[in-house]
Structure 1
Amino acid sequence: MTRIFRTLRDGLLFICFVVLALLIVAKLDRNTDPPIPGPYRALDRDTLSAGVERLRLEGLDAPEFDQVCGSPKGSWNCGREARRALAGLISAASAECYGFARDQYQRILVRCQAGDTDINARLVRMGMAVASGSDYIDEEDAAQREETGIWAGEFDRPRQWRRMRGMMEEPDDGDAFGDLWARLRGWLGGMFAE
């Protein structure tokens, strides 16, 4: 009985190490994606265009274009303000976006930078988006604590706002296993295409 237990334990431990190694590789690989050629244009609050490609900012969810948020000074169109903020950040000459995995709408999931500024993180920190997944939780906490942007008053989280209006639901892009699977498909596809 103990021999079976040890064999199962060792097998489970091996599987855990393999999964951990794959997650680490996926995380490290994220930083080596080639930049997607710009210039970039903000289409809405978390989607860019680069030529014919559509790019979706990864790790965040911003208010919908027509979404209204509350503040002590009254209501404001937080979706349009989120688009303005993204347009301002992405207009920097040094802006570059990286990624290759695609979402259900075939947009490339990207992380964008302008110099040392992580644009995705900056939008969340400005209170123009909420964290989706675990990458920008610290930025969201800081924006909420300082009552910045959407955190200045009452608002519905973008996912909840879409659900209440019967709009198409986007999956949570904080899914590590989904991201890993997309990267594995990309690697395997690249190996067989060459």
Structure 2
Amino acid sequence: MPRRLIFVTVAAAAALAAHAAMQHSDSLPAINLQNLIGPKPQPITGVASVIDGDTIEVHGQRIRFNGIDAPESRQYCDDAKGFEYPCGRRSAEALDTFLAESRPVQCTFVKWDRYHRFVGECRRADGASVAGWMVEHGQALDWPRYSHGAYATQQAEAEAAKVGLWVGKFQAPWDWRASHADGAAPSSQPLGVVSRKLIAQSGSYSCEPRRYCSQISSCDEAQWYLHNCSWGRKLDRDGDGVACETLC
């Protein structure tokens, strides 16, 4: 067969393969060439700023925890009583508290993701697995697509104990993103004291100043404080998910 004909045949086959791949791109995993040809980064150690429940920033580098998925920053879930609460922000706050108890954090590189985040395995200074703790306490889910079930045991324990997300009803983060396309990109601002105050204000309710049950006029208002304010849990003395029960 003439060389020119061979070249044309190969080119045509390549074009057909590319066309087929484009048609079925949703079923193909994203490929980051840097994972194939780039150098492997050294572990990163430092004090972390929390972006959301599965992403931190250390020394200016975004780091995504490998193998788990936490609720998105704008995601809401239902508690045991069926009230909505900002589970994404609650997850981020739980992570922030956990990391603050034993600094610094060290993250070992696994791969780059499509947002050019360093995907890694992270541990606190005391050796505790960050991803493992988040799943064990119901603040994130094992993501079998990437973890291959590495955190399945912790998740089963969290579900049985009905802690974190498992206390009520929720949509898996990957499903939530699929149904909220505009919220699929990762958050851009670290969780900090100022941003917490800003996001915890809505309508006529505000987290400042702190309020007591005697100063609250409705069950809805009490539940809003419970789920949005750092001091809100103090309104729920018996820990059953209902604040100021005399109002509810």
TM-score by length of 1: 0.66
Matches within 5 A, 1:1-194: 34-73=42-81, 74-91=83-100, 92-114=102-124, 115-133=126-144, 134-167=149-182
Q: Give the fraction of aligned pairs with identical amino acids, expressed as a percent.
A: 28
Residues in 2 aligned to 1:142 and 1:152: alpha-carbon distance in whole angstroms: 13
Residues in 2 aligned to 1:116 and 1:38: alpha-carbon distance in whole angstroms: 14
Structure with larger RCO (C-alpha < 8 A, sep 6+): 1
One-letter amino acid of the structure 2 residue matched with residue 81 of structure 1: R
Residues in 1 aligned to 2:76 and 2:184: alpha-carbon distance in whole angstroms: 19
Aligned residues: 138
SS in 2 for 1:72: coil
TM-score by length of 2: 0.52
Identify the residue that residue 27 of structure 1 maps to in structure 2.
none
- CA distances 1:40-96 after superposition (whole Å, capped 9, x unpaired): 111122111112211001110000111111112422111001101111222222422
Residues in 2 aligned to 1:59 and 1:100: alpha-carbon distance in whole angstroms: 10
Residues in 2 aligned to 1:158 and 1:36: alpha-carbon distance in whole angstroms: 26
Q: Provide the alpha-carbon RMSD of the alignment.
A: 1.8
SS in 2 for 1:117: coil
One-letter amino acid of the structure 2 residue matched with residue 149 of structure 1: G
Check conservation: 2:47, 2:104, Cα contact below 8 A. Answer: no
Identify the residue that residue 11 of structure 2 maps to in structure 1.
none
Residues in 2 aligned to 1:96 and 1:122: alpha-carbon distance in whole angstroms: 15
Identify the residue that residue 211 of structure 2 maps to in structure 1.
none
Structure 2 unaligned regions, length at least 5 = 1-40, 186-248
Check conservation: 2:45, 2:58, Cα contact below 8 A. Answer: yes
User: Shift of the alpha carbon at 1:167?
Assistant: 4.0
Q: Which has the larger radius of gyration?
A: 2
**CA distance 1:116–1:51, change in 2 (3 Å):** closer
User: Shift of the alpha carbon at 1:168?
Assistant: 6.6
Check conservation: 1:40, 1:49, Cα contact below 8 A. Answer: yes
Structure 1 unaligned regions, length at least 5 = 1-32, 171-194
**CA distance 1:168–1:43, change in 2 (3 Å):** closer
SS in 2 for 1:84: helix
**CA distance 1:35–1:127, change in 2 (3 Å):** same
One-letter amino acid of the structure 1 residue matched with residue 76 of structure 2: V
